[in-house]
Amino acid sequence: MNPRKLKQLKKSFRHQPLAQQKTAYIDRMTAYYQEFTEYPAIKLLISNVLLADKMLAAGDLPQQLPLLQLPDNSEDLIYQNLNQKFPKGDPVGDKLWDKLIAALPHLDHDLRYFRDYLEEHYGMWAYTPRPFISDLADFVGDRAVLEVMAGNGYISKGLRDAHKTVYATDSQTWTSENETGRHPLTAIEPLSALDAFHKYQDQVGVVVMSWSPDGLPLDWELLQAIRQANAQVDFVVIGEPHGATGSAAFWDNAEFIENADTRHLNRHYTAIDLIKDHVFLVK
């Protein structure tokens, strides 16, 4: 697929409107769970969404997710199951077939919509599973961490729960537009990325930046500040190059470190939809 068309498709999935109230999405997913209970490959995807929502609602970090994409053979799975249960031409079987086949595109949409749901209702932009935070804590070791653009503080909370010293900061620019920063899971200092780095650069060994806003040069400004300060820090960046996050200037000028650490950090940070965000070490 043409890269430009792929980027447009990704953004269309991220910004599709949903008229229903907040609980309607999970209500629909719960209904799908009952509807597709006899189809383990489909049921697994739905149960993962429901479990992640339950954990986030409780203030916990969620589990790692599989790719939330229906199996290519979903229709075949339904046909094979119904063919074993009903004779050919049975009106009950035919009615159930029509119902399940009609539901598939709606379920497909809702699985792809999960990231939007997380953004809108939890202020979670980068899906941050607990196993990834465990890997990040291993990487941090005894060093202190500065998280910029922390949002509601999912990463900082996870690292603090792992007994790491963390300076969690966010400009809180977006609180009037969405849930980002409205329901922090941990204490967050109201500082821009640049101000936070200037304040804490001599106290930390790791800087974490997750999902810098799409198209804004905040990430590039921070990278230049880190370089100019000649700071002895590891710069951990979570995002999608030239995709859903960050500025073109940042991705054009970032120097990526590929080593055992980056492979370890990406063990449990995996794609959940069309957006291919990744964990990078940048210098």
pLDDT per residue over 230-250, tens digit each? 889 999 999 999 999 999 999
pTM score = 0.87
Q: Judge whether 6 lies within some domain.
A: no
Residues 165 and 269 placed together within one structural domain of the fold: yes
User: Where among 84, 112, 140 does a domain terminate?
Assistant: 112
For residues 169 and 193, is the Cβ–Cβ distance under 8 A? yes
Tens digit of each residue's pLDDT (9 = 90 or more) over 80-107: 999 999 998 999 999 999 999 999 999 9
pLDDT at residue 172, rounded to an integer: 85
Residue 150 has pLDDT above 60, yes or no: yes
Domain contains 10: no
Contact call for residues 167 and 198 (beta carbons, < 8 A): no
Q: Model confidence at 183, in pLDDT bands (50, 70, 90)?
A: confident
Beta carbons within 8 Å of 230's beta carbon, 6+ residues apart = none
Task: Find the domain containing 213 and state its range.
Answer: 130-282
Question: Is residue 272 within 8 Å of 67, Cβ to Cβ?
Answer: yes
For residues 137 and 67, state if they share a domain. no
* Whether residue 219 is found in the same domain as residue 81: no
In a domain, 12, yes or no: no
HSE, CB side, 13 Å, CA atoms: give it for residue 122. Answer: 25
Mean pLDDT over residues 214-223, rounded? 97
157/260 same-domain check = yes
Q: Would you say 197 and 228 are in contact if contact means Cβ atoms under 8 Å apart? A: no
Q: Judge if 175 and 219 occupy the same domain.
A: yes
Note whether 84 and 136 are same-domain residues.
no
Helix ranges, the chain (H) = 3-14, 22-35, 40-57, 74-85, 91-112, 114-122, 130-140, 154-161, 193-200, 218-229, 248-253, 260-265
Last residue of a domain, one of 79, 112, 145: 112
- Does some domain include residue 5? no
Q: Amino acid identity of 121?
A: H
Residue 10 has a pLDDT of 44
Whether residue 119 lies inside any domain: the answer is no
Name the domain boundary from 52, 77, 112. 112
Region 168-189: mean pLDDT is: 77
Domain count, the chain: 2
The residue whose two tokens read 């905040």 is 218
What is the reported pLDDT for 115? Answer: 96
Say if 124 falls within a structural domain: no
Which DSSP string do the residues of 226-245 spell out, in sequence order?
A: HHHHT---EEEEEE-TTTTS
Q: Within a domain: residue 3? A: no
pLDDT of residue 177: 55
CATH code of residue 160: 3.40.50.150
